[in-house]
Amino acid sequence: MASQPLFGGYAPQLSPQRTATALPMATPEDYGAGVGDALMGAGGVAGRAAIEDRKLETQREYDRQTTDAMLRWSQLKEAYGVADNEARTNAVPGAAGHAKSMTDLAAKQSDEFLATIGHEGLRQAYAGRLGEWKSERAVQADAFERGSTAKLMADQMDASADMIANSVRGKPLADYVEAISDIETMEVPQGIPQAAVLDWRRSAAQKATFAWLRSQEPEFRKAMIDSHTYDTLLTSEQVEAVLSEADSDIRRKQIDADAAARAAKAEDVEYVDDVLDRINRRSE
């Protein structure tokens, strides 16, 4: 039996059954993510380009400072060389103060050079290079001063020995003995090796003895040489020279004496002849 409509013919109406479907999901692209990524990508490229630009500029600045340092390093060494040559040429005997002056100059040039380098790594590299360079310059300057001082001392010591030798020429034995005593006891520089001091004392005594003997009478010279008193002090050449000169002077003295005797005899003969002549004239 068919159902009857309720309440005045109203009957529930059933709608056709629907199938559930999922709602569409939003994606990043829906909100502009693609544009963002594109912008990010563009920004990354720009950033990387900026970084590369900074690297290149940094490299260029380093290269500029490097070549500038190369030039100024060469100029520094040239300037120091000129100053060193002038200092050596104009140095006083002994070159007192040369080492300190040149060491101070090298330090000043180094400080001024390093102050112009902005790159820390480059400055450190040159700091090491300059340290070695300054050490080498200090050694060279000190060697020059020491050599000049040694030459000055040697020259002065030789000059003093010559003066002592000249001072005893023609002087009596007492003066010669005093001079030899000075030579043996005179104060000498402490920086000279003992062997060099002994060599100087012996050389000075030798010069004084040679000069003194040669200025004495030839008979005395010959007697001293014949006594072998100075055989250990004078060289064989000096002994031979003194003896030869003594013999020559003795012969010369003998010749002069003979000539004087003949002259005196001639004068006596002439005088006698003159007296006899006057006597004869009176008797006529």
pLDDT in tens, 142-195: 999 999 999 999 999 999 999 999 999 999 999 999 999 999 999 998 888 899
Give CA–CA dist 254/144, Å, rounded: 58
> For residue 237, what is the enclosing H or E element?
helix 236-283
pLDDT score of 42 more than 60: no
pLDDT at 210: 96
Q: What is the pLDDT of residues 195-253, one digit of tens each?
A: 999 999 999 999 999 999 999 999 999 999 999 989 889 999 999 999 999 999 888 88
Give CA–CA dist 108/67, Å, rounded: 22
φ, ψ for residue 231 (rounded to 5)?
Answer: -60, -35
Return mean pLDDT, the chain. Answer: 83
Q: How confident is the model at residue 129 (pLDDT cuts 50, 70, 90)?
A: very high
Q: How confident is the model at residue 34 (pLDDT cuts 50, 70, 90)?
A: low
Q: Which residues pair with 6 in a beta bridge?
A: 10
Whether the full predicted model's pTM is greater than 0.85, yes or no, is no
pLDDT score of 274 more than 80: no
Q: Which residue has the higher pLDDT, 60 or 273?
A: 60
Residue pair 246/218 in contact (Cβ under 8 Å)? The answer is: yes
3-state secondary structure of 6: strand
Angle, CA 272 vertex, CA 269 and CA 278 arms, to 5°: 140
